[in-house]
Amino acid sequence: MVSPSISSFADLALNPLIIKALSQVGYEQPSPIQAASIPPLLEGKDLLGVAQTGTGKTAAFALPLLTNIDVLQESPQVLVLAPTRELTIQVAEAFKKYAQNLKGFHVLPIYGGQDMGGQLRQLQRGVHIVVGTPGRIMDHLRRKSLNLDKLKTVVLDEADEMLRMGFIDDVEWILDHTPKGRQVALFSATMPPPIKRVADRYLVNPTEVRIESSTTTVEAIEQAYVQARNDQKLDALTRILEVEAFDGMMIFVRTKNATVELAEKLEARGYSAAALNGDMTQALRERTVANLKKEKIDILVATDVAARGVDVPRITHVVNYDVPYDTDSYVHRIGRTGRAGRTGKAVLFVTPREMYMLRSIEKATRGEIPPMKIPSSKEVADQRVTAFKQQIKDVLVSDELSLDFFEGIVSDFCLENACTAEQMAATLAYMMQKARPLQISEKELKHDQFAFNQDQGRGDRGDRGRRDEGRDGRGRRERGAREEGRGRRDEGRGKRDDSRSAGDRPERKRRDSEPRQARPESDVPMVKYRLEVGKHHNITAGDIVGAIANEAGLEGQYINNLRMFDDYSTVDLPEGMPKDLYRHLQKVKVKSQPINISQFDGADSSGDDAPARKPRSGGRDFGSRDKAPRSSSRDRDSGSSEGDRPIMRRKPSGDRKPRENSRNRD
Ligand code: AMP
C-alpha cells in the first residue's frame, strides 16, 4: 500500500520552511511510510498506519501536521498521545527539529512525574502542539488547563504500546473529549483487536498505510545484530572494527550529515573512511567508490540513496549503523556484500526501541539473526597486543627485509643510554600505540559499558517480548488478573466519565502517576531500599520512578513495590547495585529533596511494609562489578545463571552531576 513513487520531499506539498529544515538535518528522501502518509494527512484525511519505530513514522505525521498548523493561533491544534515519557520527549523534540525555521512555534511535552506548575505555565503561555502521556493529558483536561476547542488533529502514537500499558480506556476518554470532525491518525506496530476497535470507532474512512515487504533468503551472508543505544553505537562500532577481520566495509546511516560525521570520527580513530551521500556530485561519488575499489579507503559511510548501484567485490562487511526503514531496504543494503560467490557479514545495530524491526527483518529473511557480542575493552586491548605481536613477527620473518641497520641503531642506543634492548623495545612499543593504546586504564576497565551487557540471548529481547504480548493483549490481561488477585485497587476507575461496562475493558488501566506494582515478568532477585522522600514532600510515585529510571538507566519493570509513607518510601531494585551508582543515587534529588537511598533495614515505623518480591533462581544481577553492600534481606538469591548482563548501570558519562528529575534516555 505504500507508494514508492515519491522520491523527494520536494514532491510533497510541505511547507518550504519545513523542507529546508529536513535538508538541514540531512534527510535525503522520504521513507516509505512518509511517502505514503504525508499526502493524505496533508489533505486532512484520517490515517491508520501500521508502522513501528525505525520506519520514520514520527516525521510521517509531524511534517504534514506542522505544515497544516497556523502559527499565529497560539492554542493547541495537534495533540499527540504517546505511551511513555521517553517517547513523548522524543516526539516533541522531533517536532522542534522539523519546525526549527517556523518562528514562534511551540510544542509542549506533558507527562506524569513532571512538575505540574511548569506545565500549567507553559500551557497558559500558548502552545501549538501538545505531546503527552494519556494520564497527564486527562489530568489537564479535567482541570480545564488544556483547552482543545481549536484542536485539528489527534495522533495516537504506538497505540499497541498504549494498549499494552493499560492506557487504552484513557485514550478513548480523551478522544471523546476532542472536537467533532477532528482528524485522527493512529500508528501502531501491530493491530490487536482492541486497537482495531478504536480505529473502527474513531477513524472515518481512513487511508491505510502499511509497509509490506517481500520475503527473501540471504544465504551467503552471515548476519548478526547488536543492541545499542544511540550514544553507545560509535563505541560498539569501533570495537567491532578492532576485532573483525574485514577488507572493505559499507556502513549505512540515515542522513547526509551522519555520513560525514561518522566518516570523520572513524578517520580520527585511524581508519581510512569516506562519506558517500546525495549532496556529493556524481563525479565525486564515483571517485569515492573507485577509491574503495583501489583500496585507498576501506570504509564507506553511506546513505541508501548514495549507495545505489555500488558494486565493490571487496566489501566483506555491511554495517547497518542506523536501522533501515523496511526489510526490503535491509536486504538491499546487505546485498552489497557476499558478491561474486564470496561470503559476507552483515551487522545490524538496533536501539532497544527498534527491536521490533529486527523481528520484521527476521521474518522477511526467514531466519534468526543472532546477537553479536561486543568485545569488552579488555578483549579489544588483548586483540591489539596480538595484532601488534603479529606485525612484529611478520617483519621478523620476512626474507625481503634486512634489519642489520636497525639492529645497529638499537645496540648503539643501548650502549649510549645504558639501557637494555628490552627497555628500548618497550619504549618503541609505547611510541607505536598512537590512537589505539595497547594497555587499558583501570578507569576504562571499570566503566566499560560493554563488559557485561552483550550476552543478549533470545530471551533477553525485552522489547520484543513485551510487544508480542501486546499483540493480543493476553499477557497483559493475565498479568492484570494476577495483580487484581493481589488486591490491587484501581482508584481512578470508579470515577470514570465512561459509560461502558467493565466487561468492555479487558485491559488493566494504569495511570502514569500511579505507583508501580511488582510485575511478574521481572524475574530478578530484588533488594529493598529506603528513600528519604515521602508523601509529605509533595512527591508522586511517578516522580520517584522517573528519577530512578533515568538516573540508573533502569527500565520500569525493575523498579518494584514502590511504597510511599509520610516521610520516606521503600522500593525494590535489582540486587547487586554497582557502588558508583549507589553513591550517585544517594545524591539524586526529587523536587529539591535528596532521595538519600539506603538499604532498607526493615525498621518500618508504620509496620506496613510489604516484603520484596520473592526472588526465583536464574535471575540476573547488576553484573560482577564493584557492588554496593549486599542486603541482609531475605529477598535475595545469590544465583545468577544468565551471566553478567547488567540490568542497571550508570550512564557512561563519568563524573556526571546528579540532576533533579531527569529526562530522556534512549
Ligand atoms: P522513527 O521511526 O520516527 O522513530 O524514526 C527513526 C529515525 O529515523 C529518527 O532518528 C529520525 O530522525 C530518522 N528519520 C526519519 N525520517 C527520515 C528520513 N526521511 N531520512 C533520514 N532519517 C530519517
Q: How far apart are CA 34 and CA 530, in angstroms?
A: 48
Over residues 88-96, mean pLDDT: 96
What Rg, from alpha-carbon coordinates, does the chain have?
28
Decide if domain 517-666 falls under CATH 3.40.50.300.
no
Asked whether 211 lines ligand 1 (CB < 6 A), one says: no
Residue range(s) occupied by CATH 3.40.50.300 in the chain: 9-210, 221-365
| Amino acid at the residue 290 | A
Cβ atoms of 51 and 210 within 8 Å: the answer is yes
| Phi then psi dihedrals of residue 572, to 5 deg | -95, 130
Confidence (pLDDT) at 553 = 64
pLDDT per residue as tens digits for the range 208-245: 999 766 777 777 899 999 999 999 999 999 999 988 88
Confidence (pLDDT) at 69 = 97
The DSSP result for 84-135, as a single string, is SHHHHHHHHHHHHHHTTTSTT--EEEE-TTS-HHHHHHHHHH--SEEEE-HH
Asked whether 257 lines ligand 1 (CB < 6 A), one says: no
Q: Rounded mean pLDDT of the chain?
A: 79
CA of 302 to the centre of ligand 1 (A): 15
- Choose the residue to mutate in 2, 19, 24, 31 for probing ligand 1, maximizing ligand atoms within 8 Å of C-beta: 31
Q: Which of 168-177, 545-554, 588-597, 633-642 has the highest mean pLDDT?
A: 168-177
Residue 183, H or E segment? strand 183-188
Asked whether 58 lines ligand 1 (CB < 6 A), one says: yes
CA of 8 to the centre of ligand 1 (A): 15
Confidence (pLDDT) at 424 = 94
Asked whether 255 lines ligand 1 (CB < 6 A), one says: yes
CA neighbours closer than 13 Å in the CB half-sphere of residue 643: 11
Asked whether 49 lines ligand 1 (CB < 6 A), one says: no
170-174, 201-205, 232-236, 555-559 — which is least confidently predicted? 555-559
Q: How far apart are CA 448 and CA 235, in angstroms?
A: 10
Q: Look up cell 474513531; give the residue.
A: 202
Confidence (pLDDT) at 555 = 63
Matching CATH number, 221-365, of 3.40.50.1220, 3.40.1180.10, 3.40.50.300, 1.10.10.350: 3.40.50.300
Q: Residue 643: pLDDT above 60?
A: no
Q: Residue 196: pLDDT above 90?
A: yes
Confidence (pLDDT) at 577 = 77
Answer with the residue of higher pLDDT: 326 or 15: 15
Over residues 114-139, mean pLDDT: 93
CA of 254 to the centre of ligand 1 (A): 7
Answer with the residue of higher pLDDT: 355 or 613: 355
Asked whether 23 lines ligand 1 (CB < 6 A), one says: no
pLDDT per residue as tens digits for the range 424-483: 999 999 998 877 788 877 777 777 777 644 444 344 443 433 333 333 333 333 333 333
For atom 11 of ligand 1, which residue has the closest CA?
A: 56
Over residues 656-662, mean pLDDT: 38
pLDDT per residue as tens digits for the range 596-611: 898 887 654 443 333 3
Confidence (pLDDT) at 602 = 67
Over residues 68-80, mean pLDDT: 96
Region class of 44: left (phi > 0), else alpha (psi between -120 and 50), else beta: left
CA of 253 to the centre of ligand 1 (A): 10
For atom 1 of ligand 1, which residue has the closest CA?
A: 56
Res. 557 pLDDT band, cuts 50 70 90: low
Q: What is the dihedral of CA 479, 485, 488, 490, to 10 degrees?
A: 70
The DSSP result for 360-384, as a single string, is HHHHHHTSPPPB-PPPPHHHHHHHH
CA angle 492, 494, 499 (to 5 degrees): 115
87-101, 363-377, 651-665 — which is least confidently predicted? 651-665
Asked whether 537 lines ligand 1 (CB < 6 A), one says: no
For atom 22 of ligand 1, which residue has the closest CA?
A: 254
- Choose the residue to mutate in 34, 58, 231 for probing ligand 1, maximizing ligand atoms within 8 Å of C-beta: 58
Res. 45 pLDDT band, cuts 50 70 90: very high
Over residues 398-407, mean pLDDT: 91
Instruction: Tell which atom from ligand 1 comes closest to the C-alpha of 29.
Output: 19
Cβ atoms of 259 and 275 within 8 Å: the answer is yes
Indicate the pTM of the whole model. 0.65
Bridge partners, residue 205, by sequence: none
Nine-digit cell at 23? 535538508
CA of 355 to the centre of ligand 1 (A): 15
| Amino acid at the residue 22 | L
Over residues 110-124, mean pLDDT: 90
Nearest to 355 by CA among 225, 171, 540: 225
Matching CATH number, 9-210, of 3.40.630.10, 3.20.20.70, 3.40.50.150, 3.40.50.300: 3.40.50.300
Residue range(s) occupied by CATH 3.30.70.330 in the chain: 517-666
Res. 23 pLDDT band, cuts 50 70 90: very high
Over residues 143-155, mean pLDDT: 96
Confidence (pLDDT) at 131 = 98
Q: How far apart are CA 512 and CA 112, in angstroms?
A: 5
Answer with the residue of higher pLDDT: 94 or 523: 94
- What is the SS3 assignment for 472-540? HCHHHHHHHHHHHHCCCCCHHHHCCCCCCCHHHCCCCCCCCCCCCCCCCCCCCCEEEEEECCCHHHCCC
Q: How far apart are CA 641 and CA 618, in angstroms?
A: 5
Task: From residue 487, give the alpha-carbon distance in Å to each of 420, 480, 483, 490, 517.
Answer: 77, 11, 7, 10, 11
Q: Residue 32: pLDDT above 90?
A: yes
Asked whether 453 lines ligand 1 (CB < 6 A), one says: no
Confidence (pLDDT) at 33 = 94
14-19 — which CB contacts under 8 Å span 24+ positions? 14/38, 14/42, 14/63, 14/64, 14/67, 15/66, 15/67, 15/102, 17/101, 17/102, 18/63, 18/66, 18/67, 18/98, 18/99, 18/101, 18/102
Asked whether 450 lines ligand 1 (CB < 6 A), one says: no
Residue 99 CB coordination number (10 Å): 24
Confidence (pLDDT) at 5 = 60
Q: What percent of the chain has pLDDT over 90?
A: 50
Task: From residue 206, give the alpha-carbon distance in Å to each of 5, 49, 200, 210, 403.
Answer: 21, 9, 9, 12, 77
Q: Residue 25: pLDDT above 90?
A: yes
Asked whether 206 lines ligand 1 (CB < 6 A), one says: no
226-240, 319-333, 635-649 — which is least confidently predicted? 635-649
CA of 449 to the centre of ligand 1 (A): 26
